[in-house]
Amino acid sequence: MKTNTTEQRILIILLVSLLFLLLGWVAPAMFATHAPDTHFLESHSFEAEDTTAADASHELYWNRTIHEQRTGTILIELTMVSSNGERIDFQTYQQDSIYQEGRQTTVMEQELPEDVSPGVYQYEMVVQMQLSDGRVTRTFYVTSDEFTVEPA
């Protein structure tokens, strides 16, 4: 009788240990999947400086807050959209880096297309961030303020 009780206790201990291991692995991924976007990344402003059609590039300013330090690959897609809906896609690029916790302004130099027409534009940025040791990918959408491309 005593051996049977000891085996039951060992089985219960193993089951509880397995349950805690499973919860410890699943809970962070569930949180990363369902938490609000602003828990990870908060975009305060995204601005592009006015430019002319003759310029080769201009600067973009992204003021954002990272609420928890992240290490990993950030995938950024940038699209320039004119006021009439014309879309100009730029090359997607990745940044492998450490994103420090806190509020920062990132300055990005963006090349302009050679055949850009004068007009009012804005950028749409898609940021993908790996969370929970790469098990969850979150996507954030940021739209810039409008900027003007003046004739050359």
Q: How sure is the predictor about 10, in pLDDT bands with cuts at 50, 70 and 90?
A: very high
Percentage of residues in the chain with pLDDT exceeding 70?
91
CATH entry, 38-150, from 3.20.20.70, 2.70.50.60, 3.20.20.105, 3.40.50.300: 2.70.50.60
Q: What is the pLDDT of residue 63?
A: 93
For residue 118, give the nearest of 56, 29, 53 by alpha carbon.
Answer: 53
Q: What is the pLDDT of residue 51?
A: 93
Distance CA 89, CA 49 (A): 18
Which pLDDT tens digit goes with each residue over 68-94?
A: 776 666 677 778 888 888 888 876 777
Give the pair of three-digit tokens for residue 36.
């609000």
Q: What is the pLDDT of residue 49?
A: 93
Q: Any idea where the domains of the chain sit in the sequence?
A: 1-34, 38-150
Q: Give the mean model confidence (pLDDT) for residues 33-55.
A: 90
Give the pair of three-digit tokens for residue 99.
């994103």
Distance CA 68, CA 99 (A): 8
Q: Where is pLDDT greater, at 22 or 91?
A: 22
Q: Which helix (H) or strand (E) holds 18?
A: helix 2-34
Q: What is the pLDDT of residue 139?
A: 85
Q: Give the mean model confidence (pLDDT) for residues 50-78.
A: 83
Buried b (16+ CB within 10 A) or exposed e, 77-106: bbebbbeeeeebebeeeeeeeebeeeeeee
Q: Which residue has the tokens 């400086």?
A: 49
